[in-house]
Structures are given as structure tokens and as C-alpha cells.
Amino acid sequence: MMHKFTLLFLLLFGAATVLQAQDEWDESGDDWGDDDWGDDITLPEIHGFAELAAAARFDAGPGADEDILLSEARFRLDVSHRGSVADLIVKADFVADDVLGLTDFDLRQAYIDIRAADWLNIRAGRQILTWGTGDFVFLNDLFPKDFVSFFAGRNDEFLKAPATAVKFAIYNGVANVDLVWLPIYTSDRFISGERLTFFNSAAGAIVGPAVLEMPISPQYPRRTLDKGEFAARVYRSVGSAEISLYGSVGFFKQPTAFDVNSGMPTFAPLNTAGASVRLPLLGGLANAEASYYDSADDPDGDNPFIPNSQIRILAGYEHEIVSNLTGAAQYYLEQTADHEALLANSPTPQYEPDENRQWITGRLTLRALRQTLQLGLFGIYSLEEDYHVRATASYQWSDALNLSFGALLMGGEDFSFFGGLKHNSNAFVRVRYGF
Amino acid sequence: MNGNKQNVRMNLLQPFLAIAGLIFLVNLAGANLQAQGMSADEIVRKANIVAYYAGADGRSSVRLTIVDPAGNKRYRQFNIVRRDVTDAGDQLYLVHFSRPADVRNTVFLVKKRAQGDDDRWLYLPDLDLVKRISAGDKRTSFVGSHFLYEDVSGRRVNDDAHKLVETTAEHYVIENTPKDKSGVEFSSWKVWIDKKTFLPVKMEYTDGGGKVYRRIEAVETEVVQGHPTVTKMKVSDLANGGYTLAELRNIAYDIDVPESAFAEKSLRNPPMSLLTGRGK
């Protein structure tokens, strides 16, 4: 009797289990909405996102007549096609910018990636380029950055600006080689006073859109092939360590030079050479990088209108502190060569950086709620007593919907690097719907 | 691929058979085991090879449906190729994500080591950046699912002490107790290993209070090229609710995955024909 009862129970339970299981799996099948798992795609894939972003200054201060420094709607269209020998990728942003009062088309990527041979890949067109081991600190990466986006509260991805380039990636057993040719010089998207306020050493004060008649408009290298840039990286693994050598020929990415003839800021020629290593160490990850910046037109450092040569050194370490919480720290040194000659010849020696500019950076990243919530804290403290803090929270509401908010703080003496940006300290919020 | 489908969902006839043959089988199994002379360690070792080292290499397409306690669903889809450096030892994994849109074309490369920390890299396509990831806790969520990294790559056999606690008609039931309790959230876990195929078909994790709070079940298995393979899996969070369903398709073994498929080149240019099993 007892056994029969148990049997009946088992039968019912078993059937219920099967039914319930079927429900789950059927539902999952329905929700995916296809049966071939999408691997057979021969048509172009279309994706993208729509995003609203806003940021407001805590304290507008001099130079800014607006508290709002970011208020924009962005729509990205991402079309890609994988072919048998080549891929075509286009990522284009359409932006309605309420702060500058304009609509903008920002072609982020538009390239063909050709698998020319087993050992050779060629990527030609507009693309995002980056290399090096630093975390928000760049030594051998001379590709264009967008510091306006970085300090205005846009997504971190916008720190990298696109460039039109041809990249040859050569793979072989000895060492891989990346050769990049940027036929037309592309500068950083630097802080010009159009949106952000900054310290202007000529004015000796913080300036911005409210006081500048027009944003800083430097003289660019001619848009001809002879002013193009080259960059190369040679890299390989030795055991668990990754070793890279870098070199580049081109120009400074910021208008830090002054053209005496035109009276305009400009970009001085710059050649660099460097190396980096990254390896697992004591359960974490260690990296070191160095670079020499050769300011070709100011070899002795006595021309006050051209930046001096520099040595840049970085050491970093990252380690998981506890489950889902990662900590990282970096030490960065920027040593200006011929510093005495710089001070002796500078019209504004009081605003020149120290011979040794040193940064300590720290980062904490916490992932929670099954990685749907990410909290980040990143700080740079300069031994010249200026600082930058980025506190961010990002919540993935669903696969499609992301909500991010946070605060960016800059502070220090007006003439210091981050101090000059202090009146741009802001709180930001972004909502993104991806498809 | 001629998959010989073998549903491990509770067959409605099985309770009859099980009860009818229970006394016999328990005795037989015990005798059989002694005859084979397999210790708990040997069973676990064999199961580890069956579950994680089938063939010299392999590939699969995987879909995850992640369901939170409120019933909200998230999805992940990826292709994965594996190559064994040594059997039951080091392995290479390459994972290429195709869904959702915001992680599409992200590539994950793992050099799993039997001794010492794994090496892990992530390729972020939007930045064209190869990011190295520090070793980290393996008992954290795999891509936001209820699976943990360790479920995917396999827990080291030597990290636990194994005890055969029960032999049923179909399964060896092994209780595993971690040798080092720090860094694991369970106090012990039980695994049901199919006696015929040595495939682990159920795992239950017990907390300090002796309560089962997490379960992984093989919902469906197939024999692929002679290798018993789980094709549907469910992991349940019994403490908070919520679960993840994993569905594997397009499985193949011994497809001659070259070691070069796990070089840096594959992060930027993943070998799609290997990953999807479809010629380019």
C-alpha cells in the first residue's frame, strides 16, 4: 500500500517535472525567436543603440555661463558583414547636441578588414586604434584620444577617438608586428574651450565658452601625405609574460606648441620609442611601460614655444581583493628633459610643470547582482597636488537597457593639469537602449 | 554527427524498474565496484575526463537563458573551441560571443593550467583592445549567469577529498569536501555520476548549515562521436530563486583544432569556421 502511494507520488512528481522542464525550455526557445542560432548569417548584421546623456557642473565658476555641460541624444548604427576573405564594419553616430546647439555625424568606424594571408591581416579605413598597458594613462599609444568626452561624462569608450589609417597585422612565430600608417594627421579631440573650461597660460586664468570669443583653433599640420604618421609595435610572449616594443613618427596630439609666425597654437613634431611588459605576479597582474618622447624641433629644450622631450615611465598592479572586487594601482612618472633650459626660456615659468610630474592612480571595481551592477571608483592623485576622481555606477536593467550615473571631480591649483579643469566637475547620467 | 539521443529526464517507467531491481542492483553495484576496485578518487578522475576532456579537442555552440528570481530573462550565446594540451591537464579555450548585441564579437581566451593560475584574455571589439584579466576567484559568475567559471572549466580534482557515499542503480554518488575551505562558498558538494558513461549528471552544493542551496542538473544528454555529452543543463539557485538554462548544439570532437587557434591573432580574428563548424 505504502509502496503504491510512493509510486503514484513519484509518477505525478516525475510528470510534473517533465512538464515544468518542457515549459522552461520551450519558453527559452520562443524567446530566442529563431531556430538556426543565427550562425548562418549571409546578410549584413544591423545593431546599434540609442542613448540619452546629460551632465551638470557642480560649480560653473569662471569661463562657463552654463551649468549643463552635456545634454545629448545619440543614435548609433552598427552595420557589419563578415565575408569569406574580408569583413566590412560601419559604426556611425548621429548626435543631437543641446549644449553646442547642433546635430553631428560622428563616423566612429568604417573599415574593411582583409585576411590577406594566414600571417597577414590588413585593416583599412576609419578605426579605433589603441595599445599599451596603462589604465587611462598613455605612454606609447599616440593614437587620437577624446579628452572632451572623457571629462564631460560620456561613456569611457569615447576616450578613444577614431582615425583614418591602414593597419598591417603580421603574425609569425618569432614576434608579431603591427604597422600603422595614418596618411593624414589626426589630433586628439582636445579641450578647446568650446564645451569645457580650462587654464590658459597666456591669459593666466581659467577660460571657457563664456569668455572665449571662439574656441582655441590651432594650426594643424598640412593635410598632405608627407605629414602623415607611422606607428609600429613588435610583440611576443615569453612564458606568461607579454613583451612589446613600440615606435612612432608623427606629431604631438595636443596643440602644445606655439607658432610664432601665425601666433597660433600648433602641433610640434614628435618621435617616440618605448617598451612594455605585462605578466601575472602573485595572483595578480603586473605591468611596466616606458617611453621616450623625442621633441624633434626642440632637441635642447630651450625653445619655449615647443614642448621639451620627455621620459615617461609607468608601473602598475591589479589584484582581486575579494570575490567580485578588483583593485588596481599605478605609478606614473613624466620627466621633462632639459627642464632648466625650459624654465630659463619660458615666458611663464610659474606655469611650467615640475621636472618630474608624478601620478598615483587607484581603481576599485565591484561587480554585484550577478554582474548586472558595476560600481567603479578611479582616482588620479598628482604629486603636484591636483587630482581627478571618477565614481561611476552602471546597472544593466535588461540585455537591452543600461542606466549609468556618477560623478567626475577635478581639482587643484588653477594652473595645474586637473586643477584647470575643476569647474567642469560634474554629475552625469546616461540611459542606453541597445539593439 | 549522428547523435544517439538518450533522454535522462525521469523516464516514467524508471520508478518501476528501479524499485523492482533495487535490492539486486545495490548488491550488484557494490560487488561490481569492489570487483573493479574503483575508489572514489578513481571514479572522480574518470568522470572529470569524461566531462571536460572528451576527445583531443572539440567545439560547441552554447545558449544561456538566465532567469532572475523575478522571472526576468537575459540571454547569452557563444561558440567555444577547446584543445587539450595534456589529457586531464592543461587546456586551451577560445570563446566567441554572438549575443547580446553589447557583447557581440567579444572574445575570451583561457589557458587553463592544472598547476598554478590560468591565463585569461578578453578582446573588446569596440576598442580593438586585448585586455589581460588577472587570475581571480573562479567561483564567480560566468558572464552573469548562475554558472561559475569553475563549472565551465572544471574544478581541480585535487582540490577536494572524495567519498563514495552511495551507489544507486544508475549512479555513483560522491561527496566532495574542499581541502581548503577558504575561497569556496560551499562546505561540501555531491555529484551523481552515471555508472555506465561516467558522465556527472547532477551536482548539489551544501552550505555550512547542511542545506542544499545550489543544484546543477543534466537535463538531456547525447552520445556524440562516442562521447556521452550533456546537451541541456540547468543550474538553480535554490536559496534565492533564479536559474540558468544552458543548451548546447553543434557539438563535435576531434576536429583538429590547431594550437595556433589560441594565439593572439584569434582574439582579433576569431577562426569562425572552427568556432561555428561552418566553412567560411
CB distance from B27 to chain A under 8 Å?
A: no
Distances (CA, A) of B135 to A284, A338, B4, B226: 6, 42, 38, 34
Residue matched to cell numbers 552550505: B207
Q: Show which of residues 148-207 on chain B sit within 8 Å of chain A, judged by CB atoms.
A: none
Domain of B204?
A: 4-276
Could you give the CA distance from residue A355 to residue A342 in angstroms, rounded to a whole number? 10
d(CA B183, nearest CA chain A) in Å: 8
Indicate the average pLDDT of chain A: 90
Kindly indicate the confidence band of residue A62, based on its pLDDT and cuts at 50, 70 and 90.
confident
The ipTM estimated for the assembled molecules is 0.85
Q: Which of A208, A311, A306 is nearest to A266 (CA)?
A: A306
Q: Which of A123, A231, A238, A132 is nearest to A175 (CA)?
A: A238
Q: State pLDDT tens for residues A175-202.
A: 999 999 999 999 999 999 999 999 988 8
Grid cell digits, residue A391: 565614481
Whether residue A291 is predicted with pLDDT greater than 80 in this model: the reply is yes
Which is more confident, A359 or A84?
A359
Taken as a whole, chain B contains a residue count of 280
Residue matched to cell numbers 593572439: B264
Q: What is the pLDDT of residue A40?
A: 58
Kindly indicate the confidence band of residue A35, based on its pLDDT and cuts at 50, 70 and 90.
low
Grid cell digits, residue B105: 564579437
Could you give the CA distance from residue A156 to residue A158 in angstroms, rounded to a whole number? 5
Residue A187, phi-psi category: left (phi > 0), alpha (psi -120 to 50), beta (remainder): beta
Please give the helix or strand (H or E) that residue B198 lies within, else none.
Answer: none
- Using a 10 angstrom Cβ sphere, with 0-12 exposed, 13-18 middle and 19 or more buried, the burial of residue A4 is exposed
User: Looking at the 3D structure of chain B, how many domains does it have?
Assistant: 1
- Using a 10 angstrom Cβ sphere, with 0-12 exposed, 13-18 middle and 19 or more buried, the burial of residue A105 is exposed
What residues of chain B score a pLDDT lower than 70?
1-37, 279-280
Under a CB-based contact definition with an 8 Å cutoff, are residues B139 and B184 in contact? yes
| Type of residue found at B41 | D
Q: Show which of residues 211-250 on chain B sit within 8 Å of chain A, judged by CB atoms.
A: 219, 232, 234, 245, 247, 249-250
Could you give the CA distance from residue B118 to residue B126 in angstroms, rounded to a whole number? 25
Kindly indicate the confidence band of residue A26, based on its pLDDT and cuts at 50, 70 and 90.
low
Q: Which of A244, A174, A173 is nearest to B259 (CA)?
A: A173
Q: What is the mean pLDDT of residues A270-277?
A: 98
- Measured between beta carbons, which residues in chain B are less than 8 angstroms from residue A3? 19
CB distance from B69 to chain A under 8 Å?
A: no
- Using a 10 angstrom Cβ sphere, with 0-12 exposed, 13-18 middle and 19 or more buried, the burial of residue A313 is middle
Other residues' Cβ atoms within 10 Å of the Cβ of residue A431? 15
Q: What is the mean pLDDT of residues A257-273?
A: 94
Q: What is the pLDDT of residue A36?
A: 65
- Measured between beta carbons, which residues in chain A are less than 8 angstroms from residue B119? 240, 280
Q: What is the pLDDT of residue B18?
A: 43
DSSP B26-60: HHHHHHHHHHHT--HHHHHHHHHHHHH--SSEEEE
Cβ within 8 Å, pair B74-A24: no
Kindly indicate the confidence band of residue A34, based on its pLDDT and cuts at 50, 70 and 90.
low
- The domains of chain A are located at 50-434
| Cis upstream peptide for B258 (omega within 30°) | no
User: By CA distance, what is B71's nearest residue in A?
Assistant: A24
Grid cell digits, residue B43: 571514479
In chain B, % helix, strand, coil (3-state, to 5) comes to: 20, 40, 35
CATH number, domain with residue B259: 2.50.20.10
Cβ within 8 Å, pair A130-B128: yes
Q: Which residues pair with A293 in a beta bridge?
A: A272, A310
- Measured between beta carbons, which residues in chain A are less than 8 angstroms from residue B234? 21, 24
3-state secondary structure chain A: CHHHHHHHHHHHHHHHHHHHHHHHHHHHHHHHCCCCCCCCCCCCEEEEEEEEEEEEECCCCCCCCCCEEEEEEEEEEEEEEECCCEEEEEEEEEEEECCCCEEEEEEEEEEEEEEEECCEEEEEEEECCCCCCCCCCCCCCCCCEEHHHHHHCCCHHHHECCEEEEEEEECCCCCEEEEEEECCCCCCECCCCCCCCEEECCCCEEECCCCCCCCCCCECCCCCHHHCEEEEEEEEEECCEEEEEEEEEEECCCCCEEECCCCEEECCEEEEEEEEEEEEECCEEEEEEEEEEEECCCCCCCCCCCCCCEEEEEEEEEEEEECCEEEEEEEEEEEECCHHHHHHHCCCHHHCCCCEEEEEEEEEEEEECCCCEEEEEEEEEECCCCEEEEEEEEEECCCCEEEEEEEEEEECCCCCCCHHHHHHCEEEEEEEEEC
Grid cell digits, residue A248: 612612432
Could you give the CA distance from residue A343 to residue A346 in angstroms, rounded to a whole number? 5
Q: What is the CA radius of gyration of chain A?
A: 26
Residue B249, phi-psi category: left (phi > 0), alpha (psi -120 to 50), beta (remainder): beta
Pairing of strands A102-117, A401-411: unpaired
Could you give the CA distance from residue B97 to residue B103 in angstroms, rounded to a whole number? 7
Q: What is the mean pLDDT of residues A72-97?
A: 95
CA dihedral A150, A156, A161, A166 (to 10 degrees): 150
Kindly indicate the confidence band of residue A215, based on its pLDDT and cuts at 50, 70 and 90.
confident
Q: What is the CA radius of gyration of chain B?
A: 19
Q: Say whether B228 sits in a helix, a strand or coil.
A: strand
Chain pair A-B, CB pairs under 8 angstroms: 140
Q: Show which of residues 250-269 on chain B sit within 8 Å of chain A, judged by CB atoms.
A: 250, 263-265, 268-269
Under a CB-based contact definition with an 8 Å cutoff, are residues A256 and A310 in contact? no
- Measured between beta carbons, which residues in chain B are less than 8 angstroms from residue A38? 77, 98-99
- Using a 10 angstrom Cβ sphere, with 0-12 exposed, 13-18 middle and 19 or more buried, the burial of residue A299 is middle
Q: State pLDDT tens for residues A104-156.
A: 999 999 999 999 998 999 999 999 999 999 999 999 999 999 999 999 999 99
User: By CA distance, what is B8's nearest residue in A?
Assistant: A18
| Topology annotation, domain A50-434 | Porin (2.40.160)
Q: Which of A116, A44, A120 is nearest to A82 (CA)?
A: A44
Could you give the CA distance from residue A191 to residue A199 in angstroms, rounded to a whole number? 10
Q: State pLDDT tens for residues A221-233.
A: 998 898 999 999 9
Under a CB-based contact definition with an 8 Å cutoff, are residues B172 and B157 in contact? no
Whether residue A356 is predicted with pLDDT greater than 70 in this model: the reply is yes
Q: What is the pLDDT of residue A212?
A: 85
Which is more confident, A339 or B17?
A339
Cβ within 8 Å, pair B73-A31: yes
Q: What is the pLDDT of residue A347?
A: 85
d(CA B102, nearest CA chain A) in Å: 7
Grid cell digits, residue B5: 539521443
Taken as a whole, chain A contains a residue count of 435
Cβ within 8 Å, pair B129-A15: no
Q: Measure CB to CB from residue A320 to each of B101, B102, B136 and give the nearest one.
A: B136
Under a CB-based contact definition with an 8 Å cutoff, are residues A394 and A426 in contact? no
